Chains A and B, each alone.
Chain A
């Protein structure tokens, strides 16, 4: 296990270095000058040159890149060109907002997705199954942007139940709409995956054996079938949660949620290199960590993976 973890950590570090390099190359190839964004076009060339020098933008590419990496290794993600505030500190301030939204959306997705998936698989070809399939296809095909606007229109504007914008620390009520907008798609995916995975497991020999032993249907479904079909569901949850933790640009923009996604978007619009690099690096790190946790969960949930066996029922 220790060897596995060391291998994963080393791979993660290499991945982060690669991500930083690719982002750096892309930033330098995009047309536009960050100095002009900071000071406006009408500043004198002398002032622009001094600002360029003070930001280190006049140095050669590799000097800038390795300078940034060496600072990042010490936990310094630089200072925003626009606000003058440390990027690391700002990310730390905004991360709780993104985390709370991600957790709520993921919770919603997991609870509803697994519930409807199990019901659909258990009552295959019933009305509940067809309705779940229809709603999940609809949910997957509806863009988050559109769903967000619909929620604002009906829940906030027509029914006047919940606020249309804000962050949870202004009011907990602000959390519901973005969480629903973000979690619905995830719930639909999880419902479909749970259904197909459950259907496969429900026809397995050991499930028939469990029934033959006289176990209740609830015990058969929840204890024997769901547990054995959980691996693909965990994969989807991990991927979704990882992307939520990076901040959802669209959801955060529509609902005025002050999270990492909006911070990254502001950085991109302002050509604020330290903000872009910082959010991309942290985002990549979050993905790597979440995926590592998911991999470790696989090992715990599936004993075959612990022993190295790879065939089911052989």
Chain B
């Protein structure tokens, strides 16, 4: 439109409003300044203190009551609030927690725990053996409806324990104020490990009774931190517990911000709003290739095994020859390199390396000399790790190599029907679908026809538990760092699919060895049994043993003392500090 037209249609605007426009234009910079002040100063975020460690959770935790925790994020948060009798360190070794020492009777049936005399709850009241006994009995009480009730089924009288119907005889008793006795029905080598899980945390009876039987937001606890605020779907805030038995932790507090979106969390981290971030797998390459962040990346192999499961209860996968053929047919290295961008290590068997190996991905120190020393030490450790791995593989397992020729030969030997279509179930999620596509490609290379079926998580698990798929892609993660936690739940014949034996594997020899493993008392004996069981399982091949995923964490430069813990609830954050004045 021309200026004349403008004047014709807007006669008043063209004369008087031009002055107004000019006046507004003159004030525009002032308006912009006010707006920016409003957004940056006047509306500043209610910041957590400079000495508060901020981390991210993808979703809110469902509960912080140890009797009801079933998820990893719940256990991770609860670990900062509660203490158990024992706990794991970064090398997966059991360490004293509330119990300063313990004794095991010669028949391996009775444990005597001596509790710390300075242990107190966060309200200042002493934590006694009565509290520890109450905590365990609460789990076993059917009225509690704890999903973890069966976890301590080896405690004498646990199965029949029901105080409501008068059956109150159970092998848990407070001998005196600081001594707890636990009797078992049978020797159980993993019992102490089970006590280190969130289910084994000690709680205050008074606190439970005041909360109506279930701990919610007012929690009295014995851990290094105390819950100060829980805004559902927003943040969980904790402050240092002045009564913690190891002394008040150096951090003033810990905050978990709940940020569902990975991209948003990464931006918050890069802007300094998060101090430590578990690197989302889609952002791994970006962080790894960024020289600013590379020195602050830490990594470890997680206690997990990803596998391709067979339905061993029906044809053609009731035949070990077919299962072995599939193990030879899949090129794991290629999938790790392409789909997983190197964020996994190939699996030789069902059990991942257990021993704790948290390491810096780069070199955090700015001092050149220290960097050189770090580099030499790291190289030595890598060499030792490699030697250890070579020795382990020589003595323990011989993994299946990628060999389509061997696969075809085994399938022919097993008289495999190449015209039959194999149903392959996979979770409807981008990464799982990409992995399934790569596996499907490998299988098609040797003439196997696959029909890929995608399901949402709940429907997917239901289909597996009903035995619908011929093969499926899944993973198993440890509740406690012990080979037994992989072998027994996943391969014991009487275990149902929902208990872990998704492949419906049955083998009497494996069952016998697993029973012996549960009763074994010596470390050496246990290790030998584990090796024998693993070898047998690798031979039988109820899974295609794919890989163990690596976990990556990136920290801000001002965070010091951060360690990687293979077990989710082992990190109490008592060694972590924040360098003063540096936090943005």
A residues at B contact (CB < 8 Å): 31-33, 36-44, 46-47, 50-51, 54, 82-85, 90, 122-123, 125-126, 149, 152-153, 156-157, 160-167, 170-174, 176, 216-218, 253-256, 258, 262-263, 266, 270-271
Contacts and interface: CB of A to CB of B under 8 A. Distances in A.
User: Which of B12, B145, B231, B499 gathers most chain A CB within 10 Å?
Assistant: B145
26 contacts: A36-B458, A39-B147, A40-B71, A41-B499, A42-B499, A42-B500, A43-B70, A47-B145, A50-B145, A54-B145, A84-B216, A123-B1, A125-B1, A126-B1, A156-B267, A157-B271, A171-B43, A172-B38, A172-B42, A172-B43, A173-B44, A217-B13, A253-B260, A256-B257, A258-B234, A266-B59
B258 A164 contact: no
Contacts of B36: 161
B232 to A, nearest CB: 7
Contacts of B31: none
Interface in B49-78: 59-60, 62-63, 70-71
B498 interface: yes
B418 interface: no
A165 B263 CA distance: 10
Contacts of B12: 216-218
Contacts, number: 150
A41 B461 contact: yes
A279 to B, nearest CB: 13
A40 B233 contact: no
Contacts of A42: 70, 147, 150, 498-500
Given A122-B9, A217-B11, A258-B233, 20 more contacts: A33-B462, A37-B458, A39-B147, A46-B142, A47-B145, A84-B63, A90-B232, A157-B267, A157-B271, A170-B235, A171-B46, A172-B39, A173-B40, A217-B13, A253-B260, A254-B263, A255-B264, A258-B231, A262-B233, A262-B260
B46 A256 contact: no
A162 B175 CA distance: 59
B99 to A, nearest CB: 26
Nearest to B70: A40
Contacts of B233: 258, 262-263, 266
A40 B268 contact: no
B303 to A, nearest CB: 17
Nearest to B458: A32
B261 interface: yes
Given A176-B39, A256-B258, A217 B234 contact: no
Interface of B: 1, 9-13, 36, 38-40, 42-46, 59-60, 62-63, 70-71, 142, 145-150, 214, 216, 231-235, 257-261, 263-265, 267-268, 270-271, 273, 458-459, 461-462, 465, 498-500
A32 B147 contact: no
A31 B462 contact: yes
A170 B234 contact: yes
Contact of A271 (B46, B62, B264, B458): B458
A253 B265 CA distance: 11
Nearest to A156: B267
Contacts of A174: 45
A216 B10 CA distance: 8
Nearest 8 A/B pairs, CB to CB: A32-B458, A39-B147, A172-B43, A43-B147, A40-B70, A171-B45, A31-B459, A41-B498
Contacts of B235: 170
Contact of A84 (B9, B142, B214, B273): B214
B231 A254 contact: no
A153 B499 contact: no
Given A84-B216, A164-B264, A266-B59, A51 B10 contact: no
Nearest to B497: A41
Contact of B259 (A85, A165, A270): A165
A51 B232 contact: no
Given A83-B232, A216-B11, A166 B263 contact: no
A47 B149 contact: yes
A46 B524 CA distance: 38
B435 to A, nearest CB: 22
B40 A161 contact: yes
Nearest to B479: A42
Contacts of B459: 31-32
A263 B459 CA distance: 22
A270 B61 CA distance: 12
Contacts of B260: 253, 256, 262
A82 B498 CA distance: 20
A178 to B, nearest CB: 11
A154 to B, nearest CB: 11
Contacts of A51: 145
Nearest to A174: B45
User: Which of A42, A85, A126, A173 gathers most chain B CB within 10 Å?
Assistant: A42
Contacts of A253: 260-261
Contacts of B232: 83, 85, 90, 258
Nearest to A219: B12
Contacts of A36: 458, 461, 498
A120 to B, nearest CB: 12
Contacts of A165: 257, 259, 261, 264-265, 268, 273
A47 B145 CA distance: 6
Contact of A254 (B38, B261, B271): B261
Contacts of A41: 461, 465, 498-499
B46 A218 contact: no
Nearest to B461: A41
Contact of A163 (B71, B149, B273): B273
A238 B375 CA distance: 64
